[in-house]
Structure 1
């Protein structure tokens, strides 16, 4: 957990544009402000109507309209990994009735997927 936090801080400082491409939350529905919001537990099915996600790159609630912009790696580290990697690494957590349900190593896999998707120059910067 601590290693991913240090990595994320280095990426944020060295290349904010890359930070914005890793763990970028998605809209719960098209055409609305329904991006996922990083939290310590996923709860897109809950009554929060916010689309709380603890999954890197998670999708917001389909019925919310309050999240106008996506969140990314720096937000993921602060809000989901609690700033120190003590929670949700390498696997996310969900509220009792929350979705998406955690899968083993889901956050580690999602970060890796986003890093692989970077272009060659971006990968060099990250390395």
Structure 2
């Protein structure tokens, strides 16, 4: 699965087919988890972020329902839950923002200006 958050949200399955993630809060959940790229995000943090500091009564149930919907759309293994909270169950490099950052860091490490420029172009791609 590949997740694009630089620009409009774009999700593609393993075969490269688009995956429709509908609903602003469901998309926000996916983007919020993608921003952490493989690190767990606590339920409390997600509740605060998704409901802008004013989660509903029974927010834990609302969050679990969102996670369940996201798993139904994008696959059971996409969102994992553990002691630290929820995390995306994909390699962090499958998130375009992470791949971009890694490419920029690698390019900046190049001494040769032509190779540095080439690396930056690859990162932008």
Q: Which has the higher strand share?
A: 2
Q: TM-score, structure 2 length as denominator?
A: 0.26
Q: TM-score, structure 1 length as denominator?
A: 0.26
Q: Which has the higher helix share?
A: 2
